[in-house]
Structure 1
């Protein structure tokens, strides 16, 4: 299985709630830059946090790739979600190639857990950073980090 983990693009600093923050123009540009690295990849699922900025990020990627299926929205990809629960939920997609669109601190902790087996070695992820992981099963310490691309 391959898993790509994308942090949402740059978002507004202010909104009524954190969940309602929208992407900025720069954030949209960052996301499209990252989406270009996914062209030609055999994605089966795009799974995103319900927060507005993650939904906007996932939709931009979906459109840029010409991905026919809808974005799957799940509650286990919010900023404060437990990375262990996220990894457990990822097991439902273990036979497929998946793009996760989420937030810090979850994305960094999730990568650390998947690659190193713990959350203490979190991966630094800027807005619109894209990590590529690969392995047989989504278990703690069982995935290999193939690389991380940061926006330019």
Structure 2
């Protein structure tokens, strides 16, 4: 099964709180570019989890029309300071319970890097540019980072 981990698009620096920061025009375009590229590889997603923070929700709003999606869930635990081990366990539980083949998670630094490390047993902890997407392949015994792409690398 495949887990796609995406960092939200570029966001403005100023808002009344970190949770309320909004995407910039560049962030919207980067996210759309990445979604267009990914949907050519993976047009259907079994489950999407996104952070409740405005910039992650807006990223999902921008990219959602590129995919056929079976379930979308706002996940309170995948904020910037979320517990990566807890999130990894939650993803494994979703896969076990619902037999998902594809999950997309839209979240933030640093948790996207820590989550990648948690799922790959510490083998990989990549830095994610805005709108970057990592593909992890999960099987019964292992989870491997297959690739990490950015809007610059797909151009």
C-alpha distance in 2 between matches for 1:85 and 1:146: 22
Q: CA RMSD in A?
A: 1.7
How many angstroms apart in 2 are the aligned matches of 1:150 and 1:50? Answer: 23
Structure 2, unmatched stretches of 5+, are: none
Instruction: Please say if 1:44 is aligned against 2:75.
Output: no
Question: Which residue number corresponds to residue 10 of structure 2?
Answer: 10
- 23-32 or 38-47, which moves further after superposition? 38-47
Q: Which residue does the alignment assign to 1:103?
A: 108
TM score, norm. by length of structure 1: 0.89
SS of the residue aligned with 1:76? coil
Counterpart CA distance in 1 for 2:72 and 2:14 is 25
Alignment-derived partner of residue 80 in structure 2: 79
Structure number with the higher strand fraction is 2
Q: Following superposition, which runs of at least 4 residues in structure 1 exceed 6 angstroms of deviation?
A: none
Write the distance in 2 (CA, Å) between the matches of 1:68 and 1:111: 23
Q: Give the whole-Å Cα distance in 2 for the aligned partners of 1:54 and 1:104.
A: 11
The alignment's TM-score, normalised by the length of structure 2, stands at 0.87
Number of matched pairs: 146
Tell me, yes or no, if structure 1 residue 24 matches structure 2 residue 24: yes
CA contact (8 A) 1:62 1:71 kept: no
